[in-house]
Amino acid sequence: MPAKRACQKEKSDSVFGQARKSSKMFRAGLYARVSTNDQQTLPMQLRALREYVDRRGWTVALQVREIGSGAAKRQARENLLEAARRREIDVVLVWRLDRWGRSVSDLFATLQELDHLGVSFVSLTEALDLTTPAGRAMAGLLAIFAEFEREILRERTRAGLAQARLNGKRLGRPETAAQHATEIRKLHRFGISKSEIARRLQIGRTSVRRILGAKS
């Protein structure tokens, strides 16, 4: 009978298969984010995050919520990172990894910064817990995927530039109207209208008028 009670206690002290850390009272920063069209899940995320904090015996030091598209700058997330830099929190808690990172590279970069600050990270859905050895091992895999993602982007960029060259497109910074000044004046002396000059050189008519109005 005592052995059974000990077994039940051991189960109650585990979270996602990992032993609860009772040696330190972590100050948790909660981050919940939803898209503009999915705001109804925000209370659910926060409730799950708070329940997890209670099970781990931590305290909520900061709670941040954000609404917006994935491509937009995540100012609320930046505020949470600022709190981590000020050592006001010990662990960041999120509902799902895609709620936190815009890409694998972005996710890995922020996790790396948190690690350097001595701040842990937990994602509930993926059971990613960087307060444990197993979680830190999983984070190592993110570095591999992040580099893979960067290499894919670099390869796509190189392929796009090569295709543009084949199509005869000029690469680099676009030419300014001032660089066409000599040609603009030459065409104008030949009786070409300002509108036609702008069309041929693919510049604005205002730029043509400004160059012709300036002293040579």
What's the CATH code of the domain at 127?
3.40.50.1390
Of 12, 14, 35, 195, the catalytic one is: 35
Query: Could you give the dihedral angle defined by the CA atoms of residues 50, 54, 56 and 61, in that order, rounded to the nearest 10 degrees?
Result: 60
Per the CB < 8 A criterion, the answer to whether 46 and 63 are in contact is yes
The domain total for the chain is 2
Residues spanned by the domain of 71:
14-147
Output b/e per residue, 113-143; b: 16+ Cβ within 10 A. Answer: ebeeeebbbbbbeeebbbbbeebbebbeebe
Q: What is the share, in percent, of the chain residues with pLDDT greater than 70?
A: 71
Q: Which has the closest alpha carbon to 118: 96, 94, 136?
A: 136
Task: Name the residue with tokens 């030459």.
Answer: 186
List the Cα angle 8/12/14 in 5-degree steps: 120
Render pLDDT for 39-60 as a digit per residue (tens, 0 to 9).
Answer: 778 899 999 999 999 999 999 9
Whether 59 and 143 share a structural domain: yes
Of 5-14, 120-129, 191-200, give the lowest mean pLDDT range: 5-14
Whether 131 and 186 share a structural domain: no
pLDDT value of position 203? 82
216 pLDDT above the threshold of 60: no
Whether 67 and 116 share a structural domain: yes
Whether 76 and 115 share a structural domain: yes
Strand, helix or coil for residue 123: strand
Residue 160 lies in a domain: no
The amino acid present at 27, given as its one-letter code, is R
Render pLDDT for 138-161 as a digit per residue (tens, 0 to 9).
Answer: 766 665 555 655 666 667 777 776
Q: Is 35 a catalytic residue?
A: yes
Residue 121 lies in a domain: yes
pLDDT value of position 27? 95
Render pLDDT for 125-140 as a digit per residue (tens, 0 to 9).
Answer: 888 888 787 776 676 6
Residue 166 lies in a domain: no
Residues linked to residue 94 through DSSP beta bridges, in sequence order? 31, 123
Render pLDDT for 71-118 as a digit per residue (tens, 0 to 9).
Answer: 557 889 999 999 999 999 999 999 988 888 877 778 888 888 998 899
The pTM of this model reads: 0.55
Residues linked to residue 15 through DSSP beta bridges, in sequence order? 18
Q: Which has the closest alpha carbon to 100: 127, 121, 130?
A: 121
* Alpha helices per DSSP H over 73-213: 75-85, 97-100, 104-117, 133-166, 181-189, 194-201, 205-213
pLDDT value of position 199? 83
pLDDT, averaged across the chain: 77
